Amino acid sequence: MSSDSQEIRRSILLKWHESLSKYGNLFSSDSISGTSPPSVFVGSYNYPKVFVGPMVPPIHGDTELLDSPEKWKGRTLEEIVNFRLNLVRGIKKIPIEQTQGRYIENLQEVTMSSKPTDLDLIFTKNVSSNISIGGESAPFGPVGEIKSAKFSGSTSSKPIERIFYDRDMKAQDAVLKLYNSGIEISKIQKCFSIGMLGKNRKLVPTKWSITATDDIISKSIVEKILENSLIDTCKIFSHEHLGNIFLVILFPHRWIFEMIEAWHANGIIGFGSDSEDARGINHSPRIAGAYFAAKLAVSEYLLKNNIQAGVLIFREIRPEYAIPVGVWQVREGIREAMKQDPQIITDFNSALNIASAKTSVSKNEWIRNGSITNMIRQKTLLDFI
């Protein structure tokens, strides 16, 4: 870990301990009363019997911002981490097949709510003020095992309510219907996770539901854009946030997609990448959920503009991205990039030169660690359909 990363982590931990010194009793008692954003969490540990529960800050009022990634544009890494740390996660161990019963149904009502919901939780023992900001997972605050829970004040979102009571609709179709109804992706992911969608409903660990939702939506969009005309020039879009640099190159080609990531660790640059053509991807991406999050964001742009293109994305993860906050930031970062005015370039090689120059990684390194040039050279039957 670089000195920059260590300093950022120290700063965040210092702020957290300052909060504890002022409000520690709110985070370390055997109960909590607050307004959930609303937010629920399904863990993956001990699958298929997992820890499930609401996330609640020790305050009442409008807390929606604490768990709404779509509203975090312009926020600093420190602000976002603190949003997460201020949510106390209540948990109960539940089999994934158990999507009914009072506790789960209350959580489903919380998830369905169109506004923050008041909750009162009593824990089996005092909550520890320990927090987690390490590893590859998004940070989270204190955790407590729930003894009893009181839920109140939820107001159902009508589009979600209709989908919830339609038990004949497949989960995939439900995800798409909610998306096309204008429901935010982070909200759809929570509905998917807490077992509200589909015929054969199950609880789905939060991190899996995020990837599944992005995958379902992006795949559906790509099927539509395959009918569109190809662009006739190259376009470069860029955006930087939270220590991530995103470069998106669109070029004249039937849909092919590649995302290459570069990250800095102990003075060495590591790489990861994955790609697909018009047939899609048939394996779990080596760069995990970031792949589908990026694919969704750029395919939204192509659909909105009624065009088709080849897509190459460079993501440079700088040392300033000291604490991972989730793949939502990839989706939202690229969405923001696609809102900018692009640079128009006549040929692909020049586009590669210009895009790579905006990073600290050379063009040759980007290309050597991906497969886009080989994909462009290879002609398949799909190119003649």
Domain contains 202: no
pTM metric for this prediction: 0.94
Q: How far is residue 70's CA from residue 349's CA, in Å, rounded to a whole number?
A: 34
38 by Cβ neighbours in 10 Å (0-12 / 13-18 / 19+) ranks as buried
pLDDT band at 276 (very low <50, low <70, confident <90, very high): very high
Residue 3: per-residue pLDDT? 57
State the pLDDT at residue 133. 73
**CA nearest to 249, candidates 346, 384, 137:** 346
Q: Is the pLDDT of residue 132 over 80?
A: no
Place 135 in a pLDDT band, splitting at 50, 70 and 90. Answer: low
Residues 140 and 234 in one domain: no
Task: Indicate if the pLDDT at residue 383 is higher than 70.
Answer: no
Closest listed residue to residue 115, CA positions, set 62, 68, 72, 163: 62
| Residue from 236, 221, 215, 224 nearest 311 by CA | 236
26 in a structural domain: yes
According to the model, what pLDDT value does residue 14 have? 81
Whole-number average pLDDT of the chain: 92
- Position 307 pLDDT exceeds 50: yes
Quote the pLDDT of residue 8. Answer: 80
Q: Is residue 168 part of a domain?
A: no
User: Do 237 and 135 reside in the same domain of the chain?
Assistant: no
Which of 59, 137, 51 minimizes the C-alpha distance to 89? 51
**Quick one: pLDDT at residue 111?**
96
Same domain, 290 and 145: no
Give yes or no for a contact between 31 and 120, defined as CB atoms under 8 angstroms apart.
Answer: yes
275 φ, ψ (degrees, to nearest 5): -155, 170
Token pair recorded at residue 82: 């603190």
Residues 232 and 151 in one domain: no
- The region that residue 40 occupies, defined by phi over 0 for left and psi between -120 and 50 for alpha, beta otherwise, is beta
Whether 313 is covered by a domain: the verdict is: yes
Q: Who has greater pLDDT, 355 or 18?
A: 355
Strand duo 244-251 + 234-241: pairing? antiparallel
Residue 140 per-residue DSSP state: B
Residue that is last in its domain, among 156, 172, 196: 156
**From CA 52, how far away is CA 169, in angstroms rounded?**
24
Domain co-membership, 28 together with 140: yes
Do 105 and 247 belong to one domain?
no
pLDDT over 80 at 26, yes or no: no
pLDDT at 384: 40
Full domain range(s) for residue 343: 227-384
Q: Answer whether residue 2 shows pLDDT above 70.
A: no
Q: Is 99 helix (H, G, I), strand (E, B) or coil?
A: coil
Question: Do both 122 and 237 map to the same domain?
Answer: no
Give the tens place of pLDDT for each residue, 93-116.
Answer: 999 999 999 999 999 999 999 999
Q: How far is CA 202 from CA 90, 163, 171, in A?
A: 20, 15, 10
13 & 149 share domain: yes
DSSP 124: S
Ranking 72-86, 299-313, 325-339 by mean pLDDT, the lowest is 72-86
The string of pLDDT tens digits covering residues 161-188 is 999 999 999 999 999 999 999 999 999 9
Structural domain contains residue 64:
yes
Q: How far apart are CA 322 and CA 66, in angstroms?
A: 20
Residues 100 and 244 in one domain: no
pLDDT beyond 90 at 89: yes
Q: Are 305 and 338 in contact (CB under 8 A)?
A: no
* Contact status, residue 93 vs residue 203, Cβ threshold 8 Å: no
**What is the total count of domains within the chain?**
2
Ordered alpha helix ranges (H), 37-157: 77-85, 102-112
Q: Is residue 166 part of a domain?
A: no
Of 130, 156, 182, the residue at which a domain comes to its end is: 156
Give the tens place of pLDDT for each residue, 53-62: 999 999 999 9
**Would residue 219 count as lying in a domain?**
no
Q: Please report whether residue 65 resides in a domain.
A: yes
262 and 145 housed in the same domain: no
H or E element in which residue 222 lies: helix 206-225
Angle at 318 (CA atoms; ends 355, 368), nearest 5 degrees = 50
- The confidence score (pLDDT) of residue 245 equals 98
Final residue before a domain boundary, out of 103, 138, 156? 156
| Same domain, yes or no: 149 and 237 | no
Contact call for residues 286 and 272 (beta carbons, < 8 A) = yes
Helix axes 171-180, 185-193, angle to 10 degrees: 160
Query: Do 171 and 197 touch, CB atoms closer than 8 A?
Result: yes
Asked if the model's pLDDT at residue 17 lies above 80, the reply is no
Please check the confidence at residue 322 and state whether its pLDDT lies above 80.
yes
pLDDT of residue 385: 42
pLDDT score at 341 = 98
Whether residues 146 and 290 fall in one domain: no
Q: Residue 365 corresponds to which tokens in the numbers above?
A: 């390194």
